[in-house]
Every structure is written in structure tokens, then in C-alpha cells.
Structure 1
Amino acid sequence: MFSHHGRHDALSNIAEELRCHILSLLSSRDIICCALTCQTVYKTVKNSTELQYIIELGARRLMPIHPRPPNVSIVECLRILRGKANAWSSFELSVTKGLRIPLSFNPGSILISHQQLAFFVTYWHGYVESKIIDLRTCMPETASIPLCTRDGNYGNVVHRASVCSSIYIDETQDLMITVHLWRDNPTYQINFRAISTHKEHPKAHGSRLVLACRVPHNDYSEGFPEHRAIFTGIGDRLAFYSEAKLGLEETYQYWSLHVWNWHEGGQPDDVYALGIGYILVEIRFLTEEKLLALTSCYCIELYDVGNLSTIPQLQARFMLPVVPQTLSLEYPSVFHSTSTCEHLAAPDERWIWTTIPADRVICLRVHSPKSIFVISARLFFMDLPPTWFDAASTHGVAVPWSSWGPQNSRCFLQKSSPLFGVGGSRVIRPVLHDSSLRMHMTDFNPSAVARGIGKVIQDPTTLLASRYGFTQDVTTHLPYVEVVNNDRDFDFSLRRIILDEEKILIFTLPHTTASELPPVELTMKLTISLNRSGQWMSR
């Protein structure tokens, strides 16, 4: 705030209102730096609710993704923001509302985003049922009815000629995508439907046909291949992965990866990446420009998909210290973002923020030994040092575990329960205390660690390969803060934990009858259970 001649900068001499406006264009860190230069600017920052709000967002490592409602003041937004942070710090599982969900929905077919629950179930011949429940307005009687949306718009042709092989739902865009494999040729038909109207989505440009795989034609002489397809999306971007297994005596694995803008139309089959010899187990968008893939080679691949006119560019393979086994990637497929919130009505009672992408965490589930790796997403935003790469690896893009793993991850053994939920920078997992399970909330956000509300863990932990079956000793020391909920005990009837940035859904199998179940629970946390009469019940 001073010139080279020691005089006060002109910023301290202009009108207070103009000074406040100029400072509001800066980042939270820059605002704080300016406030430390002179008393005039310090008082401006201290007395401005708008600047305090920007600083609070920066301190919480959050970003707003919805315009502020005109009837909600900036003072109220600041109050709500601080209240949400304190609620997570105390980690209380309070309850206000109960829901009954049809048994046809298993826990794996339920998503949560923007105060809504999305349920769906698929059938063999392309028949899809779904239901959206608004958690803010629903009552037990409105949530207890069966599915109300059916995607059966394919007729007998689909029943004879195709099988529904994949489904993707993004309720923030009123979007349901079903993918059908035609039996008589290696193509998939991708159908874009609006959940609310059951018709073609208004932003789609007709159904598209996508080749299942770029497989050499002579290989089909050995029989029609086995196929698998995966979809994931973010905003207007979609990634479609398909694979085929060919061969009678030997099995050849081919796959193709397509990324395109589904709002713009055109064929996603024009630009694609090819692979052979291994498969992608799961794919997830990190941002619109970055795509993660968990592979059968026990690594996480990072693709640059920012330029849709070129094929996805493989940037790095992050090797994992695990032996051949079943792995799964836990990372939300639907994100809070400006593009997914733009159509939502301005919320009167809450403000929508989301964790900065680099501060989110990704979880890798390992089935033997039962453990989870919590990985900082910041790793995938870094300019990786050249010394990290193994020059002798294929294409020179392999990054050994020793280069990236210890400082960017935490490994937790899950002896008592393999379940956990991940959302934003937080992971919720049950831990055995005496004879019951209690929920532990671990927050890996650097600002949460710096505030130290809870038990801060910074010391490294080591799991020996000889004892637990890893390919090498696993030492991890990503810092986190941990808070334990001591108000409620759970047992081994837990079935699934779903977590977003505002609430938790805990699915359990209770030992009581439907009439004995307590009332529903919903505030920031929601617990859902399954009773023995065959219905979902939250409590």
C-alpha cells in the first residue's frame, strides 16, 4: 500500500465505497494482505460484510456456485456460511424427517445432490424406473410411493434387438441417459431423456450411435464379443467408455474412450482414445478438463480432456501398492458446479457453496486387505516434477507409489466395516468402539487442519506389506482433522454411507419391525434404513 517514495497508495485516499468495491475484486488472501498495510484499509476490511464474506469463503476453501437470492442479505449469507462450518465441526447426527423408499431401490442406485435424492432401477430389456425426492419439501406420504418415472420408450424393437447396458442420471440437469447395445452389430445407442417429462432432453440433439469399440473386423469371426460400457459426466461434458473381450482360446481386451459436449450435438465417435491389453475399471471427471480412470493394472490414470477436438491425452499413471484384487473408485459422479446450478431456483433458506476442486479428496476402496486410500485431489492439479516419473515405464508416464503416495494420501484399515462415504474434503467411516460402531468424520481440507477443531493427525502411519499383503510397506502422512460422533451407536447392519457437502445418508438394516421404527431424521444428516417388511425407512 506504499509507493517507492514511502507515500500512501491512492487506494487509502479514495471513497470508502469505491475502496471496498476494488478490494472485493481480489482474492481472500490478497484482501488480508491489503488490510495489513495501513489502518484505513484495515478498517474498510473489518467493517465490510462483503469483504468478510469473501475472506470466510477463502478460509473455508469454498467457492459459491449459485447467485445470492435478492431477499437474502450478505449478512445472512455470512451467518449461514459460518453456521455450516460449525455444524460440521461438532458433527452431530440430528434428525427431523422420515422417508419410506421402495425396496426395489438398493443402496447402490441412490444419489444425493442439491437437497434431492435420485433413485433409479434398471431392468434387463432397457426398462428404467426412477424417482426424484426433494428433501426440503417431501413428506413421508409423498416419499413412500413407488417409482413414478419410467423410461420404456423403446418398444418391442428394443426388447428383441438390444439390452440396456448402462445408465447415467444427473438430476441437477433433469437428465437420464440410457445406453443400449444392439445385438446384430457392435454399436451402442445413447438416449438422452428428461426425467421430468420422460421425453428427449431439450439440450440433446437426438439419440446418437456410438461404436462399441474400434475392434479389427477379422476378430469378429471368432464370435460376437462380450461388451461393457461406463458413463460419467460433469455439466455439459460426457465421457463414454466401452470395452470388448474377443477370442476363443485367448482373450483380447479392446477399449475406446470418448469425451464430448452433449449440448452441441455431433457424433462422439469422431475423436476417441484406444487401448488394448488392460481395461478401465471406472472413470470419473475431476473437472471438465481432467478425467480420472482406475485401471486393471492397479493404477490411476489422469487424462487431459480439455480440448474436445483431440483424443484424451494420458498425462500420468499413478501406481498403487496393491496386489491383483478388486478395486473401486469412490468419487461423486455429480458435482455442485456453476453449470449444474444455473437452472435451479434461488434458494431462500440456504446458500450453495462447494469445496474448491483441488481441496477435494478421492477414495480408493481395496478389498484385501479391507482398507481405503484417501487421496488428495491436489495431486492431479500439480505440475508433476520430472523426477517423479519412471523413465523405463511404458510411454514414460508411470509415477511410482514412492514418488506420489506417502505425501498425498492416507490409508485406513477397515477391519470392522468396509463402508465409508466421501464428499468434498470429508470422509465418513464407521470405527469399532467396544461392541458398537461410531461414525468418524475426517476432514482433509487444509483450512480445517489449520483451525484444529478436533483431533489433528499429522504423524505418519505405516502398514507393513508382510502383514497386510501390500506390494510394499505403505507409509502415508496426509494431514487431517478427525471428529467422532459419540451420540449414536451403529451395529453391523450398516449397508451404505452416502455423503455430500451438506448431509449424510446412512443405510442400515434395523432389527425392529416397521411399526417400531422411530421417526425420520433429517437436518444436515439423514439416516436411511431397511426394515424387514421390505421397505426403506429413514430414521
Structure 2
Amino acid sequence: MKFISTGFLALAEELQSYILSFLPYRDILRCTTVCRALRQTYMSSSELQYITELGGQQLLPVSDTDLDNHTSISKRLQLLRDKAHAWFKFDIHSFEKVSIPEQYHDAKTSLADGHLCLFNEDEQSAKIFPILPKPSQQRIERDWPSGSLCSIPHADSIEVFMDPAQNLIAIACMIADETLEMDDGERLYIDLGTLDGDGGVHPEAAGKTLFLSGLPRCEDGLYTIENWKLEGLGRHIAFRRSLLVHEGGYKFGEEIWFMQIWDWQHSTTSSCVLSDTIINPEVGESLDFCFLGNDRLLIVSKDLKLYSIEDLSQAPQLLACFLMPVSVTGIQCLLPMDDIAHSSQLQMQTQRTMWTSDPKNRILSLITRTRDATNSLAFIISTRIFFNPQAGVSDRMAGIPWEHWGPLNARIFVHNWRCRVGVSGNRVLQAFPTMDTTLVEDYPNYLLYMMDFSPLAVERRQGLGKVVREPSTIEIPELEETLTTSLPYVEVVSDRIFGVDQVMDIWVDKDRIYLPKLNTEESDSDGIAELEVIEI
């Protein structure tokens, strides 16, 4: 604070405010604590308060929108504060219901930008529609009847990714005709299109089709189980294919996996490829991935491997390896992209929002099952550690021990593997049983816990919620030791009791909670029949 001098304090208050606006929000707050005059300047400036509110909630401003041009700073500040406080007093009993068409009760279901995205692989059909749309929301509603997704004959759709913010649909297709003399690289491809179009080329895409290369193969005669994942963020699309090689019984000898990443706006081919083999994997997913902003990718397996994907003309570059404290299987990497900043200008226009979450300060949830299968764990991790991975570490490639990165940047909770964790920005919505019970054998009732990990939520809760700063400890029987974590958060507990079938899926975005309801009335289906939508 050396610049605080008599000369600076003699400047007009408007000029002081202008100069302070160039500082990081924490430095602005420090100035207000050491100087009474600057405190008065801060209290008189909506702009300075808006900067600190954005920084404290770990958000980024979105410019060049109608809202940005026509909404005053003071109004934006009030809206931002109201949104933050609303999460601490939401009414879990007030909701609306949205029905899901019967043919999609067993479909793969996802949520993106206020739209429900449905894909029925058996029927080879898909659908997207807005969920209780608001007047200012961009709306996309479209059906793809059976057989209309893939444009090439004899091809089946195996995975679909929809991004309403960029009006994009990506479809992973596989040619199923075994009589055709083609290798796997020719049988698999990614088809791109527009959500609201007629099957033509996306106006921002480099071409209609993304081509794969170097797919893993299995020796003839060995039985395999195949799974895949198609995901995107901004200009990136990634496809992962895994082959589980079966050795008999329930024993898998190895898992061979492959991942390719494209800049779909600039090229239909890519040299950005990762592959590896996992020896003796357990039954269940043993690998997942997620994007961390527009230039980083996290591979989640027995360890967390952080890669740079800034240059897609080469293989991803390993930045750091974060060692996990326990061997895990059944991994789910939950990092919803509903409010993360995209590079595309189309995203900025369609979102019609004034702020977005900062990729460097979000929450990542890893749902794991330990190898003794008696526990499921939810690792809640701050993404800030992935943007400063070398802090205090001399040899990052050798692996950063859990003790060096985990305890201060994470929380670990015992978790029922049947339930899902909802994540949006810095907020986590998780179901916890109403009483102590053995999760594997019992079906307890649940309460919903909303946890906000943003700094301002912890520092300025204003009597709302419970601040949790003290460390928490989890026992890991297979290690015969405990894990202690201490990432601070604010906790609010719902007063509504849920059955396990009501919290098997939980989705959260900036303004709503979505609780899918299982279809238990039809004997031949236990899929999702409708959504409870809770406005915040």
C-alpha cells in the first residue's frame, strides 16, 4: 500500500476510484482496511464494490451484451448480491414439473444452457427443448426421429453432444456393416451440425465431419466391452473410446483407452491424441476427463493428470500429475459447463448474462468407489490448484503428493454411490442421509445440503447458512488411516426429506435446481419421467 500518500488522497474521489479499479479485488479490500478515506471512496463507488463482488464470488464479467450496455453498475451490483443471497434461502418446497416424452424415459439425459438434451441409442432418436424458458432466453426445440441422426448409410449413433450456446450438435457415429472392409478409424466419425438447422454444415465449423485416427484395437478372439464419451467446450470437442479386455468371469486383463481432441472450428483432423493402457482395471468406469477452460484438460484415473491443449497440432502436453490418496474405481468427473466462459462470440450473445464463472476458480466433483466397495467418496476440489500446479513442488512430473495439494484445496465426504452430486460454479448440491447408516445395505432418507465455496460466501454470509472452516476427517478402512481436508464453505440444509429415488440425479445451474423423478409406475422402465424444477 505504498502508493497511499497525501498526494493520492488529495485527488478527487472519482479519480481515486478510477485508479483503484485497476487493482485486484483483494487489494481493493486491503486499501479500505488501512485508510478511512479510501474506505469512504469504496463505499461511494458502485464500480469498486462490483469489482470486489465479482472477484469474491469468483466470477468474470461478460461484456458486449445488451444487458451490459443498458444496465447500470449499481443495478448489476444489486442483482449480483441478490443472486448470491438467494441460494441461502431457497424454497425447496416450491417447484414446477416438466414431463419427459415417454420414448425418452430411458434415454441418456443431460442439461445445457437451460435445455434438456435427450438421446435414445436404442431408438436412434434425439430431442432438445428449453425447460420452462424465460422471456430473454434463447430457445431451441427440435426432434430427430429414429434413423435421422447419422447421414451415412449403415451407421448408428453411439453418442450425442449438444451445446445450445453455440447452436451445435456433435454425433459420434459407427458404421455397423461388418461386411465392409474398413478399419475402426474408417468406421467411426464425428458428424457436426446445427441444433436448429436442416442437417447442413455448421457456419463456424471447418467441415461436416471430424475424422478419427489411431483408435485402439483388440486382439482377435478376445472378448471386449466398449464404452465411449463425447464432450465439448467452446472450440474443443473430445472423443474417448475405451476397450475392456475380458479374460473370463468378471476379470478384466486391461483397459485400452484412446482420446482425440479437435478444434472443430478450424480443422476436421487432429494430432492431439492421448492413449494408455490400465492393467487389471476393476469393474466400472476407471477413467474420465473434463475440460478446465479453453486450454487445459484433466484426465481422471488412479491419478489426476493435467494437460495443456493450447496447441492442437501436437499431443497434449503434461503439465502436472496430482496423486490421489486412495485407489478408486467407478469414477465420475462432474464439472458442468453451463456457466463457464466460452471463446465463441455466439456464446456471449446468446447467454444474455452479465457474468460467468471463472475456470480458474470453480469446483470440481469426483465421485469414486474405493476398491473394497464398502464406501463411496465425493472429492470436492477447487480448480485453482490446476492453474498453479507447481506451488511448493520441485518435480511436478514425478507426481505431486496428495499432502502437498489436497488438504487445503478439497473436501471429502462419504457418499452414496446411487446419488448424484450437482455442481455449478462454486456451488455444490449433495444429498446426505438423515441419520448414520450403512450406505451399501440401507436405503435411508436424505436431506439436500447446498455448499458454497466462494470466498465472499464464507466471509460475508450475513447470518445466512453455517460457515464451515474447521477441518473434517474421513476414515478409509482399506488404508487403515484417515484423510483430513479443510477447504472453507458455507452450508445450508434443506428441511425437505427425500427418498433415495428422488436424489439419484441432481442438476444445478446458475438459477435453478433440477431433480429428475424416476418412472416407477411402468414395469418395463425405471428411467426419468419428469423433472422437478426449483427456481432460485
Superposition TM-score tier, normalisation by shorter sequence: 0.7 to 0.9
Change (3 A) 1:89 1:221: closer
Counterpart amino acid of residue 327 in structure 1: I
Question: How many pairs are equivalent?
Answer: 493
Give the match's secondary structure for 2:269. coil
TM-score (norm 1): 0.79
* 2-structure distance, mates of 1:3, 1:481: 35
Aligned twin of 1:481: 490
Counterpart amino acid of residue 308 in structure 1: L
**Deviations 1:156-187 (Å, cap 9, x if unpaired)?**
x533xx33232222121111111123453111
Q: Which runs of structure 2 are paired with 1:51-450 in the superposition (5 Å)?
A: 51-65=48-62, 67=65, 68-93=67-92, 95=94, 97-106=96-105, 109-114=108-113, 116-124=114-122, 127-137=124-134, 148-150=143-145, 152-154=148-150, 157-159=152-154, 162-182=155-175, 184-187=182-185, 188-199=188-199, 200-206=201-207, 207-213=209-215, 227-244=226-243, 253-268=255-270, 270-277=271-278, 281-295=287-301, 298-323=302-327, 325-339=329-343, 342-343=346-347, 345=349, 351-367=353-369, 368=373, 369-385=375-391, 387=393, 396-415=397-416, 418-433=419-434, 436-450=445-459
CA contact (8 A) 1:223 1:246 kept: yes
**Deviations 1:210-236 (Å, cap 9, x if unpaired)?**
125266xxx766689765432222111
* 2-structure distance, mates of 1:147, 1:309: 35
CA contact (8 A) 1:371 1:418 kept: no
Query: How far off is 1:399 after superposition?
Result: 3.0
Change (3 A) 1:480 1:373: same
Query: How far off is 1:105 after superposition?
Result: 3.3
Query: How far off is 1:41 after superposition?
Result: 4.9
- Give unmatched runs, 5+ long, in structure 1: 391-395, 514-530
* 2-structure distance, mates of 1:101, 1:288: 33
* 2-structure distance, mates of 1:537, 1:355: 25
Query: How far off is 1:331 after superposition?
Result: 1.8
CA contact (8 A) 1:359 1:378 kept: yes
Change (3 A) 1:180 1:57: same
* 2-structure distance, mates of 1:384, 1:356: 20
- Give unmatched runs, 5+ long, in structure 2: 177-181, 436-443
Query: How far off is 1:96 after superposition?
Result: 5.6
* 2-structure distance, mates of 1:131, 1:316: 38
Change (3 A) 1:313 1:119: same
Counterpart amino acid of residue 104 in structure 2: F
* 2-structure distance, mates of 1:251, 1:347: 46
Change (3 A) 1:263 1:380: same
Change (3 A) 1:473 1:264: same
Query: How far off is 1:194 after superposition?
Result: 0.7
* 2-structure distance, mates of 1:75, 1:365: 40
Change (3 A) 1:471 1:103: farther
Change (3 A) 1:189 1:533: closer
Give the match's secondary structure for 1:70. helix
Q: Which runs of structure 2 are paired with 1:453-472 in the superposition (5 Å)?
A: 453-466=464-477, 469-470=478-479, 472=481
Query: How far off is 1:128 after superposition?
Result: 3.5
TM-score (norm 2): 0.79
CA contact (8 A) 2:106 2:528 kept: no
Aligned twin of 1:26: 23
Aligned-pair identity in percent equals 25
Counterpart amino acid of residue 111 in structure 1: S
Change (3 A) 1:107 1:489: farther
CA contact (8 A) 2:514 2:531 kept: no
Tell me which moved more, 172-181 or 28-37. 28-37
* 2-structure distance, mates of 1:403, 1:382: 12
Query: How far off is 1:292 after superposition?
Result: 0.9
CA contact (8 A) 1:212 1:243 kept: no
CA contact (8 A) 2:193 2:202 kept: yes
* 2-structure distance, mates of 1:373, 1:233: 23
CA contact (8 A) 1:256 1:273 kept: yes
Query: How far off is 1:87 after superposition?
Result: 0.6
* 1-structure distance, mates of 2:55, 2:89: 21
Give the match's secondary structure for 1:104. helix
Query: How far off is 1:510 after superposition?
Result: 8.3
* 2-structure distance, mates of 1:50, 1:381: 28
CA contact (8 A) 1:65 1:338 kept: no
* 2-structure distance, mates of 1:94, 1:56: 29
Query: How far off is 1:438 after superposition?
Result: 1.8
* 2-structure distance, mates of 1:122, 1:213: 25
Give the match's secondary structure for 2:204. coil
Aligned twin of 2:439: none
* 1-structure distance, mates of 2:430, 2:254: 39
Query: How far off is 1:473 after superposition?
Result: 2.8
Q: Which runs of structure 2 are paired with 1:35-54 in the superposition (5 Å)?
A: 35=32, 41-54=38-51
Aligned twin of 2:532: 538
Counterpart amino acid of residue 70 in structure 1: N
* 2-structure distance, mates of 1:326, 1:477: 25
* 2-structure distance, mates of 1:362, 1:266: 30
**Deviations 1:67-114 (Å, cap 9, x if unpaired)?**
334333222211111111111122432636432222333587333343
**Deviations 1:186-206 (Å, cap 9, x if unpaired)?**
112111111111423221122
Query: How far off is 1:384 after superposition?
Result: 2.5
* 2-structure distance, mates of 1:388, 1:409: 22
User: C-alpha root-mean-square deviation of aligned residues, in Å?
Assistant: 3.8
Counterpart amino acid of residue 191 in structure 2: N
Give the match's secondary structure for 1:82. helix
* 1-structure distance, mates of 2:121, 2:102: 15
